[in-house]
Amino acid sequence: MSYCDEVGDAMTHVIYKIVEHDGGWAYRVGEVYSETFATREAAHAAAARAAREQRTPGRTESIEYEDGSGRWREERARGNDRPDTDVEDPGSRRGR
């Protein structure tokens, strides 16, 4: 995951990368893998769907999550503060 830390509307840029994983194909965001798919095409389609859904605006809500050090955090997530997303598939003819 990469972040654009600009003052004002900071935009997160999330990259879904297609990779070989557990005898099949998956998409990875940062260090987190999706489920394993039988084909690269299926993994790409799932990543494209997840990327599209992540860009969809929602409601402003309180969220709770566990950070990388195992601490639970709570914050308010604006429903219109959606990330920019891309799917990278270096081995495919589709590319990006």
Q: Is residue 94 one of the residues assigned to a domain?
A: no
Q: Is residue 93 one of the residues assigned to a domain?
A: no
pLDDT value at residue 93: 67
pLDDT value at residue 3: 33
Global pTM reads 0.69
Q: Is residue 11 one of the residues assigned to a domain?
A: yes
C-alpha dihedral sign at 4, 71, 47, 78? negative
Q: Is residue 63 one of the residues assigned to a domain?
A: yes
pLDDT value at residue 64: 94
Q: How far apart are CA 17 and CA 36, in angstroms?
A: 13
C-alpha dihedral sign at 50, 51, 56, 57? positive
Domain count, the chain: 1
Domain of residue 71: give its range. 2-88
Tens-level pLDDT at each residue, the chain (96 residues): 333 333 345 568 999 999 999 999 999 999 999 999 999 999 999 999 999 999 988 889 999 999 999 999 999 988 888 889 999 998 776 545
